[in-house]
Amino acid sequence: MAASLREGLAEALTVIRLGLPPTLRRTVRSTNPIESMLSICREHAGNVKRWQGGQMALRWCAAGMLEAGKQFRRVNGHLHLPASRAALKREFRAEEVGRECYNEDVA
Please give the chain's pLDDT, 107 residues, in tens: 677 667 666 666 777 777 888 888 887 777 888 888 899 889 888 878 888 888 988 898 899 999 888 888 777 888 888 888 888 888 878 766 555 555 555 44
Structure confidence at residue 107 (pLDDT): 47
- The pTM of this model reads 0.55
The DSSP code sequence of 8-39 is: HHHHHHHHHHTT--HHHHHHHT--HHHHHHHH
pLDDT at 74: 78
CB distance 91 to 18 below 8 Å: yes
Domain ranges of the chain: 2-103
Q: From the centroid of its chain, how far is CA 88?
A: 12
The four Cα atoms 88, 93, 94, 98 give a dihedral, to 10 degrees, of: 140
Q: 14: closest CA among 29, 33, 31?
A: 29
